[in-house]
Amino acid sequence: MERDLIRWLRQRLPPHPLLRLGPGDDAAILKMANLGDCVLTIDMLTDHVDFELSKIDPRLAGRKALAANLSDLAAMAARPLAGVVALALPRQGAMDLAVAPCEGLLPLAQQYDLAIAGGDTNSWDGPLAISITLLGAVTNRGPLCRGGARPGDRILVTGSFGGSILGRHLTFEPRVAEALLLNERYELHAGIDASDGLSLDLNHILEESRCGAVVKTEAIPVADGARRLAETLADGSTPLDHALGDGEDFELILAAPPQEAKKMLSEQPLSVPITEIGEFIADPGLWQIDASGLRRSLAPRGWEHT
């Protein structure tokens, strides 16, 4: 079946200047001359955890797997180069289950000029698992890491947060172009994509930057989905709770010095809004401050990779 999938893929893959040899050999060959630093990231998405295969178009599983990986490149402000895809496929209908995720991810790959360089398929008695590795190029502005935030830097975010489980987690647009544009035009100190949850991912920046942060809760852009989810669940959780902890928003969380943040906020160079939601501080710890000025500890929460 792997040979059939390779044949199918070879017919559909547009030629790519990076690929000296595409799918079908033991490895793909990439023309890497004149490239500087690269980034390498791997993500595995699994049935019943990252999607419910029985309830969705299986193409969306493939699309999400690639989009989540692209979001990691966005978090590093890296330009997509090439990707490889491995599939663990339930034996029943394995070929269809291999083709559909590919159909879902190929348009996204093309949109981001990503070369699909190769892959691996395996049938088994387990559920569907999709593992994608992406190689990206660091631009001449350098990469964006988690470890560069400094006290006084503003916390900026793209888009809005919460309730992505209602659908957006399958259809989101990774902020690749946005990250490249912002990193090119402004001085950014740190960045991450909000995959685990706004408060938890912000905390990842704090851990690597060895600093703290105060979040103005009333400034957090709460997604419509967060409001709808709070209403639907009616479990006492607020839209803000969902914005802080749901995860899979795949928006950018950035650290920028005050003057740069001011420029970004007034220029708003993206089609999606940029919002300032707080400030990094020297003392460790994550804090929230509400409209009344009350400052309380904010427990980072979201998706733990347990």
Restricting to residues 141-200, name those near its own copies by CB under 8 A: 143, 145-147, 192-193
Residue 52 identity (one-letter amino acid): E
The least CB distance from residue 12 to its own copies, in Å, is 19
Residue 242 has φ and ψ, to the nearest 5°, of -65, -40
DSSP category for residue 15: P
Q: How many residues does the chain have?
A: 306
The least CB distance from residue 24 to its own copies, in Å, is 7
Task: Identify the residue among 14, 32, 167, 258 touching its own copies (CB under 8 A).
Answer: 32
Residue 297 identity (one-letter amino acid): S
Bridge partners (DSSP) listed for residue 285: 212
Q: Which stretch binds its own copies (CB under 8 A): 75-83, 99-107, 239-247, 264-272?
A: 75-83
Residue 154 has φ and ψ, to the nearest 5°, of -90, 150
The least CB distance from residue 288 to its own copies, in Å, is 22
By beta-carbon proximity to its own copies, the closer residue of 84 and 223 is 84
- Alpha carbon 73 to its chain centroid, in Å, reads 8
Task: Identify the residue among 10, 12, 48, 150 touching its own copies (CB under 8 A).
Answer: 48
2 makes contact with its own copies (CB under 8 A): yes
22 makes contact with its own copies (CB under 8 A): no
14 makes contact with its own copies (CB under 8 A): no
Q: How many CA atoms lie within 13 A of 170 on its CB side?
A: 19
249 makes contact with its own copies (CB under 8 A): no
Asked whether 272 and 172 are in contact (CB, 8 A), the reply is no
Residues 199-238 that bind its own copies (CB under 8 A): 208
How far apart (Å, rounded) are the C-alpha atoms in residues 90 and 5? 15
Task: Identify the residue among 31, 262, 295, 296 touching its own copies (CB under 8 A).
Answer: 31
| Per-residue contact string for residues 81-110; x = within reach of its own copies by CB under 8 A | -x-xxxxx--x--x----------------
247 makes contact with its own copies (CB under 8 A): no
The least CB distance from residue 285 to its own copies, in Å, is 17
By beta-carbon proximity to its own copies, the closer residue of 49 and 233 is 49
How far apart (Å, rounded) are the C-alpha atoms in residues 298 and 275? 19
Task: Identify the residue among 17, 125, 291, 294 touching its own copies (CB under 8 A).
Answer: 125
36 makes contact with its own copies (CB under 8 A): yes
Look up residue 248 and give its two tokens: 């899979």
Sign of the Cα torsion 52, 42, 82, 112 reads positive
Q: How far is CA 52 from CA 46, 245, 276, in A?
A: 9, 21, 34
Gyration radius of the chain's alpha carbons: 20
Task: Identify the residue among 9, 99, 109, 117 touching its own copies (CB under 8 A).
Answer: 117
Task: Identify the residue among 135, 180, 206, 254 touching its own copies (CB under 8 A).
Answer: 135
